[in-house]
Chain A
């Protein structure tokens, strides 16, 4: 069997062998609970705190500013819910139309409970206008949440500028950095809270963290043993935390080299795929994360495209309505104004640290035929 091609790294990534190796001892010999007094507990505590320091350093943060969570969904929830619980007087939140559902659905849940949420629109490349943030800020605005890089089209948001505007107005600024962390340098001097997930950068699933700038009051949403300085109860996931820190170390050691290589793949993909007739790049060509490219194919439905490529052992994803549980097209593609006929035929290609040139070659070789086969089935012909 030929090697399968994995180009869905924005969904998840393989755990790096070095990460697995680093995690194993904390499941076998040093399996202690980091809260225990005995030597088992002390070993675990040391591992957790060393990991915290490693992760803090990747952001230029202090170790106590890192709170471990079960992943980015929890980190986003903790940021938004935790702040609203700590400051019940302020009832207004500003976010964007292209956030991950972990942010959007949390905001929508709060709307049903007396909060007002402003959803800022984006331009055709998916970028939020910092001036629009300034305009939307009110007396009772508690928080602005804008992602660092979009998970579907890869747009990099101007978080430094937005954060600076928030600072001027005394409003807290959270950013979901799930896709951007480890891919590009993140300026955090104006960021108050930042969410990260380990499995997006070759770490294990089920672990992430929330950076919370010192001095920010946040109420816990999980109650129990008072772990993480009372901000997140629950026994620390020691192997997961060690794995996340190891993955971060590997990622940041060679971030620039990896980014340059993935940008090269992205350019090749854009050149080759947009050369297929009636195909477009969704989102901008520049100002994007190095590892995500999103394409629209006229007269093709995305789920069919993903399934046909799966036959060729190529894994990619789509924002098609047919692939979503509510049969609605991707909110991100709709927000940047992709025509619905094209939004149905969207394809997201996302690379990772372990992606090879050969994988890119395979997709580029196979895709034109798959596209033309599916178009042959379609009732819509060229030019219609």
Chain B
């Protein structure tokens, strides 16, 4: 079900772990639904004064696809300017991995979302202007989290009732 590339990234993930001296972190997903990704970026200026992602790392709780997409998005974004990184989509991540099973496409969305959130937090912290597309995606991600929480609420309540009983 997984491509060789997915398995390769899952077995030997790149840029794994917490980043020392990071500039911003993007936290997405929810433990209740089974995927959580924290993506750290370090931003520096290149010789032309542009913001570039000089280093990147991640920590992920999730399945094979979630780990492979974390690894892949970090590879793609590393060394890119902020503007270039904003343009990275979940489709790019999935394509670079040679495709993902349809039911696992949400994992690649999570990876792109984590990058999006890290950049959003970086720009917010610096008091910079947020590009409209980035702001829109940020809102969308927040909505997604709310809907997932709602979807899994029944499961959570059930588990809590049993634990108390």
Residues of A within 8 A of B (CB): 124, 299-304, 307, 311, 320-323, 325, 327-329, 334-341, 343-344, 376-380
Contacts and interface: CB of A to CB of B under 8 A. Distances in A.
Interface stretch (B27-35, B43-51, B83-91, B135-143): B27-35
A281 to B, nearest CB: 15
- Identify the interface centre among B13, B17, B35, B161: most chain A CB within 10 Å of its CB: B35
B61 A300 contact: yes
Interface size class, chain B: 35 or more
A337 B63 contact: no
5 contacts: A322-B62, A337-B163, A339-B159, A379-B27, A379-B36
Interface in B10-41: 10-11, 13, 16-17, 27, 31-38
Contact of B36 (A304, A376, A380): A380
Contacts of A124: 162, 165
Given A322-B34, A377-B67, A340 B61 contact: no
A125 to B, nearest CB: 11
A132 to B, nearest CB: 14
A128 B7 CA distance: 41
B123 to A, nearest CB: 22
Nearest to B13: A377
Interface of B: 7, 10-11, 13, 16-17, 27, 31-38, 59-67, 103-104, 106, 152, 155-156, 158-159, 161-163, 165
Nearest to A306: B64
B155 A329 contact: yes
A322 B38 CA distance: 18
A337 B161 contact: yes
B61 A327 contact: no
Given A321-B33, A327-B106, 14 more contacts: A124-B165, A303-B63, A304-B10, A320-B63, A325-B103, A327-B33, A327-B103, A337-B161, A338-B159, A377-B13, A378-B36, A379-B27, A379-B60, A379-B61
A378 B31 CA distance: 11
Contacts of B162: 124, 336-337
A339 B32 CA distance: 9
A118 to B, nearest CB: 17
Contacts of A343: 159
A325 B64 CA distance: 15
Contacts of A335: 158
Contacts of B62: 301, 304, 322
Given A337-B162, A339-B163, A340-B159, A303 B64 contact: yes
Nearest to B161: A337
Contacts of B33: 321, 327
Nearest to A378: B61
B17 to A, nearest CB: 8
B59 A334 contact: no
Given A301-B61, A377-B60, A321 B34 contact: yes
A96 B65 CA distance: 33
Contacts of A327: 33-34, 103, 106
Nearest to B30: A340
Contacts of B59: 377-379
Nearest to B33: A321
B155 A299 contact: no
Contacts of A377: 13, 16-17, 59-61, 67
